[in-house]
Amino acid sequence: MSAPIFMGLDGEMTGLDMHQGHKLCQVGLSFGACETYNSIVGWPHRDLACNPESMAVHGISRQAIAEGPSRGTVEAEMTQFVVTRTTQRVHSVGWNVAGFDIPWFRSAFPEFSQRCLHYRTVDLNALCFALSHTDNEYKRVKEASKRWARDILGGTPETMRQATMRQPPSCPSIT
């Protein structure tokens, strides 16, 4: 079995503060552009605090979240997705993945996080700023990030995000 060590990881939330009752409502995992897993995470309405601005960003409705697969089902599916591809814990790759996404995943999916996620991550924001040699001018950093994502990870930031959150039409379905 090949042993990938990097995995794209992204989540969408109902707000920015898990301590205020906001929940992780969609997850996306990716080993390259065609090996993806994504799912809504179901939460009962009574357990769901929503920030309208956050909900507008991803466009997932309260009803879709309430009807989505349970947290336990999603955790089991994500674990299966990873362990069928590697025998080791993977380094999560994403935009602000360590500072934002990982704490949400650890809270919602503790068994998956313990079994599948390495404590080291690759934060693409930091990497692109460090490697851009642009004195941190945002426009040039964004252009540099597109080059680095293409050269290192085989896609642009936009296509990497699409790969983690949607099944590309040209790829066979994994889930």
Selection from 48, 45, 63 nearest residue 15 by Cα: 48
State residue 77's pLDDT score: 97
State residue 159's pLDDT score: 53
> pTM for this one?
0.75
State residue 168's pLDDT score: 41
Low-confidence ranges of the chain (pLDDT < 70): 1-3, 131-175
- What ranges in 5-137 are assigned the alpha helix state H? 52-58, 62-67, 71-83, 102-108, 110-116, 124-132
Give first-to-last CA distance, the chain, whole Å.
19
| Residue for token pair 């992780």 | 24
Q: What percent of the chain has pLDDT over 70?
A: 71
Q: pLDDT tens for residues 129-149? A: 776 655 556 566 666 666 656
State residue 4's pLDDT score: 73
Selection from 46, 47, 57, 39 nearest residue 23 by Cα: 47
State residue 94's pLDDT score: 87
State residue 137's pLDDT score: 60
CATH topology of domain 6-165: Nucleotidyltransferase; domain 5 (3.30.420)
Selection from 160, 175, 145 nearest residue 37 by Cα: 175
State residue 171's pLDDT score: 47
State residue 95's pLDDT score: 85
Q: Tokens for 6?
A: 């990097």
Selection from 22, 30, 86 nearest residue 48 by Cα: 22
State residue 48's pLDDT score: 85
Please tell me the number of Cα atoms within 13 Å of 120 on its side-chain side.
6
Alpha-carbon span 163 to 77, nearest angstrom: 17
State residue 32's pLDDT score: 79
